[in-house]
A and B are shown apart, each in its own frame.
Chain A
């Protein structure tokens, strides 16, 4: 795979992060906003080892080439995450976004599109992300405009309800950090800016959705799952025209981009690990994801990925960095001895 620009990496991460935010399952209380900010700060710390390693070009590639089993674990992580996303498509979409009468047709069409997009490769996907970012920004503006009149600040309280739940949910829904770790090798410069901007953008988007859900939805948000979708129901800026079409477009685009990036990364990892079989790995990985979605319970997949994320995206880079550090100290000591 060729190099990607830091802005493209930022777009990839933000779009995957946006999908995670719209999949936040429930709202506990105003403390969730502070929990999100704390979760973001925690993730900035989490990213330090991978950013330190990314200064040396090719560190991730060398790692999985020398430790093939670890590379396979990374592939397994993305396959499980993809399987999880397929179930989420079914579970999270409310009737106005995927009408129950045509849910199967819509699902099949989305999966067929994913098959096509997964075959175009990660580079082409990265180039396409700025358009989806444009659409994402327009949708957010419409969402805010629709919600603006119904904001009631008195619904926000200064208590800690939902603080700890929010930190754990926010971190469990941050699988994009794995994408960052895998793709940092392919970015030339401004890696720190791309990662930190992504973390701040995602936290900002998450805080916005939580704030609007609490102040606009009020008690209705506690009854319905998935605050983002409740918000799309309540946020209709025009009296004569519903904004559902825009939300449908955003939902489908984010989903397709999300799956395409996952399959693209599996293809990229397979290219490094097994160069002979790399040609059709992306579409084949999509089949694996569908199979996993069909055979495995979403909770099992969620538990595995939430345990694997800190190990593979934080502990592995940390150990690798410590190893490099001890090596350099050892080298210096042996130089001094000579």
Chain B
């Protein structure tokens, strides 16, 4: 009992880390931050309150812009709870890495490809973050976050998959953002294919359109899984989808649809000279030498059960 009391005290002491001589009013918690590098580094912030976006500050480094931002906001900036990082491609790897490893940005922070000067003018970061999360949960958008984006930028093809606001649909689209700032927008069908080819979780209802009758029918996706392998230098991606209470006809339709979406995704990705589906890991594990000009052969197969 005594042991538990002491252990309890030790764990209780964790609460003291929240204690500070600083007033809560002297701290600034950011919900969204934006980075843009046009000669100098511009830093945009938005707090958790509505209409709390501030004017951007400029500087030569992240540490400098944070110092400036603290003077503008009149409090110490804490970016550990930031949910959204807005990038326009002029700032990629180095500043984001510094934000993660030096400044405590969350690895689960969502990244949005947009011009910060436009986004922060009438930004509603709560709505944006919710839209990205719900789209991911409902199978409309492949899951992306800061740690995966950084990992992809560090790959041979130096390209990451990032969501961007869409003008044509209600949920975000996907872009392939190269480390050097160049960007390739994926088509709607390729974006949908990325969902199946990348790591994802969750179950959701998907609506299929039956061509003969022009009617729609819902199908419940219970689980999805991707099996990857390399044989004779060729990459094989096998997508397995488990559905619930579905007919054979619907399953066949879904299988064809996923096959089409995945093929488009791979085609557009290879055309953009990118890898966001873990091709590098697979080829390296098979001890196949690759460089950024390698165009691997990819074979897709789908099973819906």
Give chain A's interface residues, CB within 8 Å of chain B: 94-96, 130-131, 134-135, 138, 149-150, 152, 154-155, 157-159, 216, 218-220, 222-224, 230, 233-234, 236, 239-240, 242, 244-246, 248-249, 253
Contacts and interface: CB of A to CB of B under 8 A. Distances in A.
Given A220-B150, A223-B154, A236-B107, A249 B14 contact: yes
A233 B228 contact: no
Nearest to B226: A154
B104 A135 contact: no
Interface stretch (B3-11, B120-128, B183-191, B258-266): B3-11
B214 interface: no
Contacts of A242: 80-81, 104, 106
Contact of A135 (B10, B81, B201): B10
A157 B150 CA distance: 20
26 contacts: A95-B102, A131-B6, A131-B7, A134-B3, A135-B11, A150-B107, A152-B199, A154-B278, A157-B281, A158-B285, A218-B281, A219-B155, A220-B150, A223-B97, A224-B101, A233-B101, A236-B107, A239-B108, A240-B81, A242-B80, A242-B104, A245-B18, A248-B17, A249-B13, A249-B14, A253-B10
Main secondary structure of the interface of A (DSSP, over half): helix
Contacts of A233: 100-101, 104, 107
B151 A219 contact: yes
**Residue from the set A219, A223, A239 with the largest chain B CB neighbour count within 10 Å:** A219
Interface residues of B, number: 33
A115 to B, nearest CB: 20
Interface in B73-129: 80-81, 97, 100-102, 104, 106-108
B22 interface: no
Contacts of A244: 80, 104
A95 B104 CA distance: 9
A20 B94 CA distance: 30
Interface string B17-45: 11000000000000000000000000000
B284 interface: yes
- Top 4 A-B residue pairs of the complex, sorted by shortest distance between their CB atoms: A157-B285, A245-B17, A219-B154, A218-B151
Given A96-B104, A244-B104, A220 B14 contact: no
B278 A220 contact: no
Nearest to A30: B285
Nearest to A245: B17
B17 A234 contact: no
B36 to A, nearest CB: 24
A194 to B, nearest CB: 19
B245 interface: no
A239 B82 CA distance: 10
B151 A138 contact: no
Nearest to B152: A219
B147 A234 contact: yes
A240 B7 CA distance: 25
Contacts of B81: 240, 242
Pick from B151, B201, B287 the residue with the most CB of A within 10 Å.
B151
Nearest to B147: A234
A76 to B, nearest CB: 34
B282 interface: yes
A131 B3 contact: yes
Nearest to A155: B281
A96 to B, nearest CB: 5
Contact of B285 (A150, A159, A245, A249): A159
A152 B150 CA distance: 15
A224 B97 CA distance: 10
A154 B281 contact: yes
Contacts of A224: 101
Given A130-B3, A159-B287, 10 more contacts: A95-B102, A96-B104, A131-B3, A138-B11, A157-B284, A219-B154, A219-B155, A234-B147, A244-B104, A245-B14
Contacts of A218: 151, 154, 281
B10 A220 contact: no
A249 B14 CA distance: 8
Interface in B283-302: 284-285, 287
A228 B126 CA distance: 32
